[in-house]
Amino acid sequence: MTGSDVIVVMGVSGSGKTTVAKGIAEAMGWDFAEGDEFHSEANVAKMAAGHPLTDEDRWPWLRAIGSWMDGHIERSASAVITCSALRRVYRDLLCEGRPQVRFCHVKADPALIGDRLNVRQGHYMPASLLPSQLATLEPLQPDEPGVVIPATGTPQEVQSRAMSALGLHTTGAAL
């Protein structure tokens, strides 16, 4: 792809988005951003209290992620960002006017995700919100730019699978 390439690593909380995205960014020498850091304090507080976000809560967050992507696209700088991007309308907003954007949906078994969330420390997203995320998730459709990869195996195997599916190749950097 010419110019910049922007990969949105998507999926429910605990699916492994951050691990995959950081791995891609490191292997490719691209900028990385954690989508959770774009949430407002009110959104973080709401989730920490065990309440799922509404579409109204998510629109400003998605626009902030879009602005971050725009800055990279304007500089022709490739980047990777995490974002749950649970619904098609969210992904459509992220793609609007940004043909460089592709998605990598990291899909994991709900039981595995639940186990990960139960042991994860230092994150505001409680495991109790997983069912609402799974209910909201609309799978990536064939007409959307992106790939779906299973989150099975080691983190390195998942990253390698993601990069292969996205057609990303390093110039000799080890994965």
Q: What is the pLDDT of residues 30-84, one digit of tens each?
A: 999 999 899 999 998 888 888 888 899 999 999 999 999 999 999 999 999 999 9
Contact 98, 6 (CB under 8 A): yes
Percent of the chain with pLDDT over 90: 63
Contact 125, 53 (CB under 8 A): no
Q: According to CATH, what is the number of the domain 6-166?
A: 3.40.50.300
Q: What angle do CA 128, 108, 157 make, to 5 degrees?
A: 135
Contact 53, 43 (CB under 8 A): yes
CA dist 88 and 84 (Å) reads 11
Residue 144, Ramachandran bin (φ over 0: left; ψ between -120 and 50: alpha; else beta): beta
Running DSSP on this structure, what letter comes out for residue 3?
S
Contact 155, 175 (CB under 8 A): no
Contact 95, 145 (CB under 8 A): yes
**Mean of per-residue pLDDT scores for the chain:** 88
Higher-pLDDT residue of 154 and 114 is 154
For residue 174, pLDDT over 50 is answered with: no
Among candidates 49, 140, 153, which has minimal Cα distance to 108?
Answer: 153
Among candidates 33, 38, 115, which has minimal Cα distance to 81?
Answer: 33
